């Protein structure tokens, strides 16, 4: 109906009216908080390019997890910085690796959190790539076996969900096989299904000490120009056994999140990545943006696009702000 019969502003007059007709509701229950585990004790080292985010030793991780749980955030995802690196990332699979230690410590502390683990090799290899190097390139199939053993070691330590982020072909299938064969058929897989080769990962590479020593990751991460390929990757991972799928990054790929949400009937996650976080932090420090308002707007846009779960470094602050609404 035309104006003046139809006046959309009628339903915007008061906060109570706006809240009654709000289409997208954001809550702390939507968030997954990323944490970086490093060796040592009483270590809490701020990441230069990510203000407010830290590399933490296992004892500090446990303290952080208690706070995360108190804020009503239901899950964390762990990334490991090992004591030693080698050309095949062997410390990713060891029983006493930093991530494996952190899982056990969180579970021993009986903290009410879902513990998700990133399954990849980039933090563990001395060359910084996500797989084994053969003839100057990342070799897909030999990498699958190491990733599968890494996922198994996380499940054995008590991880609730494993999340392969490497973008090797067939890794979900191989991880599902090894988990099932070893009595972990109930451990879900959250697949980084549509992970783009993005310039927004820069600060993460400082946080995880995982920058490639040569070349880049274009031969295995997705071309940012491709949309249909994202659905191909998502469908393949679900067919191989993924219980949930992820789009990464989030803000520059809201259209992809919507495409995936419309196409599948499994939970969809989106990663509000390090570069997206750091851009906001830099603008706030310069007095250009209202952090509270902008962060909640950005996170709402990710959920509005179709994400059921949002991995975000803003999780703690956003949970506090939402609790005061």
Cβ 311 vs Cβ 257: under 8 Å: no
d(CA 283, CA 234): 34
Residue 305 has φ and ψ, to the nearest 5°, of: -70, -20
Number of residues that this document lists for the chain: 325
The alpha-helical segments, DSSP class H, found in the chain are: 15-20, 58-70, 98-108, 140-157, 171-181, 202-207, 228-240, 254-263, 274-285, 291-305, 315-323
Measured CA distances, 238 to 122, 132, 159 (Å): 24, 25, 20
Residue listed under structure tokens 């915007």: 12
Cβ 322 vs Cβ 30: under 8 Å: no
Residue 88 has φ and ψ, to the nearest 5°, of: -120, 5
Tokens of 229: 């390929």
Tokens of 88: 């095949």
Active site residue 248: yes
d(CA 278, CA 299): 15
d(CA 145, CA 112): 32
- Burial of 51 per CB tally in 10 Å (0-12, 13-18, 19+): middle
Q: Is it true that the peptide bond before 249 is cis, omega within 30 degrees of 0?
A: yes
The residue annotated as part of the active site, out of 195, 281, 303, 316, is: 195
Measured CA distances, 71 to 66, 105, 111, 321 (Å): 9, 20, 12, 10
- Burial of 262 per CB tally in 10 Å (0-12, 13-18, 19+): exposed
The residue annotated as part of the active site, out of 85, 248, 281, 316, is: 248
Catalytic residues: 195, 248
């Amino acid at each position: 109906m035309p104006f003046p019969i139809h006046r959309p502003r009628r339903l915007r007059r008061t906060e109570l009216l706006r809240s009654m007709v709000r289409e997208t509701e954001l809550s702390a229950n939507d968030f997954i908080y990323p944490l970086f585990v490093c060796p040592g004790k009483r270590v809490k080292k701020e990441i230069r390019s990510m203000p407010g985010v830290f590399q933490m030793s296992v004892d500090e991780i446990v303290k952080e997890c208690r706070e995360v749980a108190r804020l009503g955030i239901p899950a964390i995802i762990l990334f490991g910085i090992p004591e030693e690196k080698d050309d095949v990332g062997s410390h990713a699979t060891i029983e006493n690796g930093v991530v494996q230690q952190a899982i056990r410590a969180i579970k021993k502390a009986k903290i009410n959190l879902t513990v998700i683990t990133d399954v990849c090799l980039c933090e563990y290899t001395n060359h910084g790539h996500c797989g084994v190097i053969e003839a100057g390139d990342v070799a897909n199939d030999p990498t699958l076996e190491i990733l599968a053993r890494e996922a198994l070691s996380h499940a054995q330590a008590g991880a609730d969900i494993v999340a392969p982020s490497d973008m090797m072909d067939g890794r979900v299938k191989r991880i599902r096989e090894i988990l099932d064969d070893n009595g972990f058929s109930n451990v879900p897989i959250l697949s980084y299904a549509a992970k783009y080769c993005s310039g927004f990962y820069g600060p993460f590479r400082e946080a995880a000490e995982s920058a490639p020593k040569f070349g880049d990751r274009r031969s295995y991460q997705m071309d940012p120009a491709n949309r249909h390929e994202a659905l191909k990757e998502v469908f393949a991972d679900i067919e191989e056994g993924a219980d949930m799928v992820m789009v990464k990054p989030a803000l520059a790929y809201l259209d992809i999140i919507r495409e995936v949400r419309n196409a599948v009937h499994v939970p969809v996650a989106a990663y509000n990545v390090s570069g997206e976080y750091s851009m906001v932090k830099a603008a706030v420090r310069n007095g250009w943006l209202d952090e509270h308002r902008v962060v909640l707007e950005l996170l709402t846009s990710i959920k509005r696009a179709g994400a059921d779960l949002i991995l975000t470094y803003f999780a703690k602050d956003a949970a506090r702000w939402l609790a005061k609404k």
